[in-house]
Every structure is written in C-alpha cells, then in structure tokens.
Structure 1
Amino acid sequence: MTYGPPSNNGQRDGAQHYMRQKIEQASGVEQVLMLYDGAVKFLMVAKEAIARGDIEARSNANRRSMEIVAYLLDMVNPETGGEAGRTLFGIYTGLLKRMMQVDFQNNAEICDELITNIRTLRVGMAQALAVQSGGKPVTGNVVAAPASEGGEPARRNAVA
C-alpha cells in the first residue's frame, strides 16, 4: 500500500510516448528544427539561472545546449556536404565556442546572442523545409523570444 498524492506517471509516460512518436515520424529537417528549439530552450534556462546566480543550473542547461549543437556538428560532413556542409560546420563550431564562453564569463548577453543565432538558423532551415515540402507551411514550436529589460525582444546580430 502506498500513501501520499496519486502518481501522474501515466500522464508522463503518455507524454513521453507522444514525443517519441513525433520525433520518430519527423523528417530529418524537422528533427533539426526540434534540436534547434531544444538548444534555445536550454539557453533560456541558462540565462534565467545566471540571473538567479545559480551556477550549477546554468552549467547544466548550457551543457545540454552544447550537447545538442555538438550532435548537429557531428552530423555535418564538411568534406562531402558541399558548401552547405562547410558553412554549417563553421557555424556549429562557432556556436560551441561561444557556448563555452557562457560558462567562462557567466554572461547572459552571450545567451541572448546564441539564442538569436540559433533562431536565425531555424528560420533558414524552416524555409528549406517549406521548399522541400512543396511550399507547405512548416509546423512546430518556436521558443518565444526573451524580452529585454525594456520589454522589447532582444536583438543581436545573426550568424555570419
């Protein structure tokens, strides 16, 4: 016999099953969009942790975003992927270097810069998906932009 509040393991298992199916049924480009969304989500968590002074949470969230970008980097072959492969390899490498600076400098502005850059990549990838699917609208979640102190969305330079 167990005591305490009822467990919601059934709900959690159902949500995990749904997410697993969604990932398995997604095309390669759709999976990349999901990875971009995940990286942005973890960078936003890292930024919030910096604001709270929670070094461990910042480190954990930033590590998760770095793992996502490292996975994307591992999928790119700059030698056989043509110009797009070389470009993405350079972009992902630059993102990883910048993500390391989040931990070294404990700087929320770097998180904002990275979030903007990854969102720029996501827009380009979503456009590629739209072209690939014959102009059909792209579905999926876009992580909301963080507000700057003035309530305006934060603006940074795009990935070059």
Structure 2
Amino acid sequence: MSLARKTGGYSGYNEYKANEISTVSQVKLIVMLFDGAIRFLGVAMDNMTPRKYDVVNNHIIKAQDIITELLLSLNMEEGQEVANNLLSLYIYLKKRLLEANMKKDKAIIQECVKILNELKSSWEELEKKEAGQGQNAPVRPTGISITG
C-alpha cells in the first residue's frame, strides 16, 4: 500500500476531528481531554500484564501531555481559587504518573484515573448547566482558556 493511500484515509478523519473540536464549547473540549487521558491510561494498564512496557510508557506520556495542556490552559487571574486548586491537582497527577511510569505501577495509574474521573464528572456537570442556559446566556469564567 502506498504512503499516499495510507495518509489519504486519515486526512478526511483528521478534518472531521478538527472540525468537531473547533465547534465544541471549551467545557466540552475539557471533558474530551479528560476522556482521552482516561482512555490512554486504560491502555497503559491493559498492557502491563503482558509486559508491553513500550506501550505502557507511550500511553502514560500521552496522558501526561493532556494534563500538561490542561495545566497550561488555566487562567490564574480569572480562575483564582478554582484555578489554583486545579493547578495543584494537575501537578500532583503529573508527578504520580511519572512515578507510575518509572515503577510500572498499576495502582498509581488507577489512583490517577479515579481523580481524572472525578474531575471529568465535575466538568460534565458544568457542561449540563451550560447547555441548560442556552447559547445566548453569559458564560461564567471557568479559569481555563483553550484558545490558542
């Protein structure tokens, strides 16, 4: 199979995903990021038993990258206490995932997944409230900005 054929199939998908991401609210995007991190950590845990440590390493790093994006998107001025609390949680998660990756410790990853699921649930609640207000309602600052 030629390289053009391989990339051709993905270009439509990439366009679709880029369009999907560009048209969702910031809150929905944050929920999607949590979903991704949780999914990557699930793959990492699944590959610990057959000892595919290269796969474990890559997926933990992908989850860490997502957490880094969430951390960098914090608006410390507008978010104040909420942003500070999220900053502390994200730093803690990054530290624990680094430990999990070095030790290949499934229990640490499970702890991080639990925290990520709780954070995701909170953002989903905010997303429901935002959807209930309608699109014309003023959006309350969340302390996070996903704009480039």
Structure 1, unmatched stretches of 5+, are 137-160
What secondary structure, in the 3-state scheme, does the structure 2 residue paired with 1:67 have? Answer: helix
Structure 2, unmatched stretches of 5+, are 135-148
Give the aligned partner of residue 85 of structure 2: 87
Does residue 1:97 correspond to 2:95, yes or no? yes
Total equivalences in the alignment: 133
- Kindly indicate whether structure 1 or structure 2 has the higher relative contact order, using CA contacts under 8 Å at least 6 residues apart: 2
Name the structure with the higher helix share. Answer: 2
Give the aligned partner of residue 30 of structure 1: 28
TM-score by length of 1: 0.75
**Cα pair distance change 1:119/1:135, threshold 3 Å:** farther
Give the aligned partner of residue 123 of structure 1: 121
Alpha-carbon RMSD across the aligned residues, in angstroms, is: 2.1
Give the aligned partner of residue 50 of structure 2: 52
**Identical positions, percent:** 24
Q: Distance in 2 between matches of 1:31 and 1:123?
A: 13
Deviation string, structure 1 residues 64-120 (Cα, Å, up to 9, x no partner): 100110111111144542111111111111111111111121111222221121111
Give the letter aligned to residue 92 of structure 1: Y
Q: Distance in 1 between matches of 2:120 and 2:45?
A: 20
**Cα pair distance change 1:127/1:10, threshold 3 Å:** same
TM-score by length of 2: 0.80
